[in-house]
Structure 1
């Protein structure tokens, strides 16, 4: 089995249990790719430098980071530190991990978006100077080569952004990075976060949506996903449309978070729930 695991970057997420589970999966003969976020680390670093993190809302209601040139430099520094820490943690668990970012070997590649449409004070505007991008290609050969040699890739943004005739590092969402990789490898995707899955009532953990198998289930899932969870559902759709057989949204802080997620915990979304019309 091939599994892509997204480890969240929120303050409330402790990666220790996930790293132990990765070691167990690898020991059992599974191929594992770890993808990690780190927005919290970026914000903390910006604040230490006296820079206010900036988030913008798109016309579709999605809230994301506006990444100017200075923020991009901090982004590269923070994500590089986190990547090294996770690789070292996996090495301590006996896993032969290799750290990569999306620029390495053009692992994650697509056009830079220097201008973004945003909503400010109820008005639609164009903001220029953004360093973000949309993944259009994943270098699956690079990942398969590493996996075939028994290495465990640990992947993080930034991605390789095509900017006219240049390739520059640009920001991209870690959940969607994991989704693109899972789709490329036809792998099960596990999105670990700081809650137990998707709740029908976002304020009530007892309303966990356990299984999503039909288009009606999918519509109910989309209606329930609010805030940060909306981005995870967007990533789930991209993974399933790309070739992933299943996406699981589960609690990073559970005992054996990955193993329990693969065994039934969390919200399980099947490929059949996403139709071509969606």
Structure 2
């Protein structure tokens, strides 16, 4: 989509588009990263432009840097652990969970919602607990590797999303609102209780995109997935087959591996395409939807799933 932006407070250039979202365009779920190197300003401006022209947008945000800063201000040390599968993640005990909720659902979500509203977007801030938006069983113990040995750490407050209240999001979108969503999620206890727990923001965005059948744009601080992680000139532009997706998975290291995992989950859940793109370029969302970054098509996972089914 190109053309001049609609400034906050101005009438949209095309009122029919503003009133009725184009029938052939799915919603857009945008994940804004929480690292200091990610500037949300471009995404905020793009969301204002898209919503003014009738495109439905849901924003999901992370905030690991601010969470760590909050933990440190409270006199604690952020703790990261390595899982048995080799993935590094935050260990979230009860005290850390309190700081996490303060930073994510409190400070960050409120500040980001205010930025969108200032830009003319009718944004509504939500945590994953609100309305059971993001829900799944709480994980109270995790397997970790410490000093080369596998151990079980208890007292964890995390969960994997198993359900999304898509009706809540669809209702807000139909009424012209732009949901701004953050962890924590609703962690369901075995006794029927509910506990706010940590969940990965990329995977939260993936779950939302899948539930809405939306395009997913994962904004980060690099241009996309590089074949050589140290060489920006090796950007992988697209993956539309299982072999191409496998090449993307092989190339993705560290934090990018989590994003590719989230991309696969989004596509398996119903998203049409996922784009991993740079948050800091001009018009980052529009650029991503227009072909910038690394685009992973639904066909890559669909063909992969079909092949796996035939093999079974």
TM-score under structure 2 length normalisation: 0.88
Q: Report what 2:75 is aligned to.
A: 50
Q: Report what 2:11 is aligned to.
A: none
Q: Specify the SS of the correspondent of 2:143.
A: strand
Cα deviation digits, residues 73-103 of structure 1 (max 9, x gap): 0000001211011111111111100000000
Among 102, 107, 128, the residue aligned to 1:81:
107
CA distance in 2, matches of 1:50, 1:71: 11
1:175 deviation in Å?
0.3
Are positions 1:97 and 2:103 aligned together? no
Which structure 1 residue ranges, 5 or more long, are not aligned? none
CA distance in 2, matches of 1:35, 1:174: 7
Q: Report what 1:176 is aligned to.
A: 203
CA distance in 2, matches of 1:49, 1:113: 25
Are positions 1:256 and 2:263 aligned together? no
Cα deviation digits, residues 79-138 of structure 1 (max 9, x gap): 121101111111111110000000000000000000001111111111100000010000
Cα deviation digits, residues 199-244 of structure 1 (max 9, x gap): 0000000000001011110111110000000100110000000000
Q: Report what 1:148 is aligned to.
A: 174
- The two structures, once aligned, show a CA RMSD in angstroms of 0.9
Are positions 1:243 and 2:270 aligned together? yes
Cα deviation digits, residues 20-44 of structure 1 (max 9, x gap): 0000110110110000000110001
Residues 1-278 of structure 1 mapped to structure 2, 5 A cutoff: 1=25, 2-79=27-104, 80-164=106-190, 165-274=192-301, 275-276=304-305, 277=308
CA distance in 1, matches of 2:160, 2:73: 29
Q: List structure 1 segments (4+ residues) > 2 angstroms apart after TM superposition.
A: none
More strand by share: 1
Pick the structure with greater CA Rg: 2
TM-score under structure 1 length normalisation: 0.99
CA distance in 1, matches of 2:247, 2:147: 30
Which structure 2 residue ranges, 5 or more long, are not aligned? 1-24
CA distance in 1, matches of 2:249, 2:145: 22
Cα deviation digits, residues 135-184 of structure 1 (max 9, x gap): 00000000000000000000000000001221010000000000000000
| Relative contact order, higher structure (CA 8 A, sep 6+) | 1
